[in-house]
Amino acid sequence: MSVLKLNFAEHVLAETNAYRLHITEKANLDGLPENVVEAAHELAKEEGKEGWIFTLDYPSYIPFMTYASNRELRKELAIAAGKKGFQNNENNNEEVVLKMANLRHKRAKLLGYDSHAHFKLEERMAQDPKTVNSFLNDLLSKGKPAAIREFEELSKYAKEKDGIDHLEKWDASYYSEKLKQEKFNLDDEKLRPYFKLENVLNGVFEIAHRLYGLNFKEIHNIDKYHPEVQTFEVSNESGELVAIFYADFFPRKGKRNGAWMTSYKSQYEKDGHNERPHISIVCNFTRPTATKPSLLTFNEVTTLFHEFGHALHGMLADTVYPTLSGTSVYWDFVELPSQVMENWCYEEDALKLFAKHYETGETIPMEYIAKIKESASFLEGLATVRQLSFGLLDMGWHGQDPSAINNVKEFENEQFKSTQIYPDVKENVMSTSFSHIFDGGYSSGYYSYKWAEVLDADAFDYFKQEGIFSKEVAKKFKDNILSKGGTEHPMKLYKQFRGHEPSVDPLLKRAGLI
């Protein structure tokens, strides 16, 4: 299983690195923001080519899918991204996925469990597959009607705008962005100048200071694995060392896509001494160019806050054993600190701290903040159903005996039946590059993103009632959740913080589903 997991990851990385969309005609760049075009030109130059090169790395792929008006090229890029590990070459992951699912099931049976999901969920808040499936299907019944309405609205819009008869997956981001701009007059590229990376980082540090009394000081005498990594000493109000914090922000060759938090040294107590942790966040943000600093999209801002929420869980740990420290908690609880942190990105009092124009220093206009909040639930039905589909696919692979599955594509289509909104793309499969569940440790746990959203909406509701910088609520959150790690059952910890079990209503309200 360990070797297969490694093979899976190597295949996905090889497929990602192998693909290049090489554009030589300027007309094919129509709609793309200037900084994205500049980055693509710099990449082409690096590779000794004329024109512009786009890749499957997120900072290249996502803007292309969102802004490029050439539908055929969007289709080409989307199909390339969707067939990673599903091509007739040495990086095909179909066998790997089938073998892994079967070996996981065999191990579970050897250990006396009905399935891999039963085995994994024993140490989760949800406890068993029945609870997970009913949670996902309950949310699906509330989210799907909204998703269908939104899909119809988007289809009608694309038809009116460009005569598109059938909305396809490669149209989703493009027309969503266009409609969002028309509805809210809110263009991600208009927001970018207000989100210079250094300012956002200082903003998240300031919020951590106001909530938890933490201070961050950049230092240059700590070993690091790459010159681009930044290192910070984190101290409390008494000046005592709390943690060492590392930040690695930009994509480079051989570095995995996505964003994550990791710990190089956990917090623990030994011989009366409290050993403080070394915590890192790794992202793949838009690089600075020759003419501009790193300017983040709003989505990248929320990613930074998300990973920093995980980092706080690691940095503020205060337990005896390293194996129960920080983020060593049940997996459907681990996303609470990260997802709750994202909420500050939508609050005026928080944004004023860091959302300043990189050239003029002007604070982000209030109407932009109002629109950010208003647009937060835009097309949330479609986003919810998409997220639930991944959770249901995960449970399909791991909540039953997989030995009868012999065709990955057919099996996947069966799992997606209840959540399918967009037409299927025959060349594409998700499972063969679904790194979360076949490489990242989220097998039987993908539902936990939505589960944690319920927790985070309910928890932030408490902050909003008392004030988003309430020291009292922050202290309760720190004492009962951030510092406790996995020392007690998460539901007990949550109830100690909140006074009751989490309610789903704040999430449904926030998402505009009720």
- Per-residue model confidence as pLDDT tens digits over 328-338: 999 889 999 99
Residue 232, SS3?
Answer: strand
Question: How sure is the predictor about 428, in pLDDT bands with cuts at 50, 70 and 90?
Answer: very high
Note the pLDDT of residue 156.
98
Give the C-alpha distances (Å, rounded to integers) separating 156 from 46, 81, 173: 42, 26, 15
Q: CB within 8 A of 404, min separation 6: which ones? A: none
The whole-number pLDDT of residue 372 equals 87
Taking CA atoms, 331 is separated from 5, 73, 125, in Å, by 19, 38, 8
Q: pLDDT band at 190, cuts 50/70/90?
A: confident
Between CA 254 and CA 235 the distance in angstroms is: 33
For residue 188, the model assigns a pLDDT of 79
Q: How far is CA 222 from CA 217, 232, 325, 422, in A?
A: 13, 9, 23, 49
- The band of 42, judged by pLDDT with boundaries at 50, 70 and 90, is very high
Length of the chain counted residue by residue: 514
Amino acid residing at 304: L
Give residue for tokens 């039963």: 118
Q: Can 307 be counted among the known catalytic residues? A: yes
Distance CA 346, CA 369 (A): 7
| CATH level 2 (architecture), domain 195-362 | Orthogonal Bundle (1.10)
pLDDT of residue 420: 98
CATH class assigned to 94-191+379-448:
mainly alpha
Cα–Cα nearest to 275, from 335, 225, 326, 344: 326
115 Cβ contact list (under 8 Å, min separation 6): 105, 108, 129, 398, 399, 400, 401
pLDDT of residue 375: 86
- Residue ranges of the chain assigned to CATH 1.10.1370.10: 94-191+379-448
pLDDT at 363: 95
State residue 137's pLDDT score.
95
Nearest residue to 100 (alpha-carbon basis) of 439, 442, 428: 439
Contact 409, 424 (CB under 8 A): no
Can you tell me the mean pLDDT for 44-73? 96
Rg (CA), the chain: 23
In the chain, pLDDT over 90 holds for what percent of residues? 89
CB-based contact 451:339 (threshold 8 Å) = no
Q: Are 327 and 230 in contact (CB under 8 A)?
A: no
Taking a C-beta distance cutoff of 8 angstroms, is the pair 169, 427 a contact?
no
Q: What SS3 class is residue 310?
A: helix
Q: Quick check: 186 pLDDT over 90?
A: no
Work out whether strand 241-248 and strand 278-282 pair parallel, antiparallel, or are unpaired. parallel
Nearest to 18 by CA among 65, 87, 68: 87
User: Contact 276/316 with Cβ under 8 angstroms?
Assistant: no
For the chain, give every residue range classified as CATH 1.10.1370.40: 195-362
Given a contact cutoff of 8 angstroms between Cβ atoms, the answer to whether 350 and 207 are in contact is yes
Q: Name the 3-class secondary structure at 281.
A: strand
pLDDT in the model for residue 373: 84
The 3-state DSSP composition of the chain as helix, strand, coil percent (nearest 5) reads 55, 10, 35
Report CA dihedral (96, 97, 101, 107) to the nearest 10 degrees: 30
pLDDT tens digits along 368-398: 988 888 888 899 999 999 999 999 999 999 9
pLDDT at 132: 96
> Is pLDDT of 21 > 90?
yes
Residue 371 pLDDT: 87
**Helix or strand or coil: residue 489?**
coil
Residues 208-250 have pLDDT tens digits of 999 999 999 999 999 999 999 999 999 999 999 999 999 999 9
As a whole number, mean pLDDT of residues 495-510 equals 91
pLDDT at 438: 97
pLDDT of residue 505: 85
Determine the Cα angle at 274 with ends 268 and 280, to 5°.
60
Give the separation between CA 125 and CA 369, rounded to whole angstroms.
35
Q: What is the mean pLDDT of the chain?
A: 95
The model's pTM is 0.79
Read off the pLDDT of residues 254-273 as tens digits, 9 standing for 90 and up: 898 899 999 999 999 999 99
Closest CA to 163 of 174, 153, 155, 173: 155
Active-site choice (189, 300, 307, 453): 307
pLDDT surpassing 90 at residue 296:
yes
Tokens in use for 497?
A: 């913080």
Which of 374, 285, 276, 283 shows the shortest CA–CA distance to 325? Answer: 276
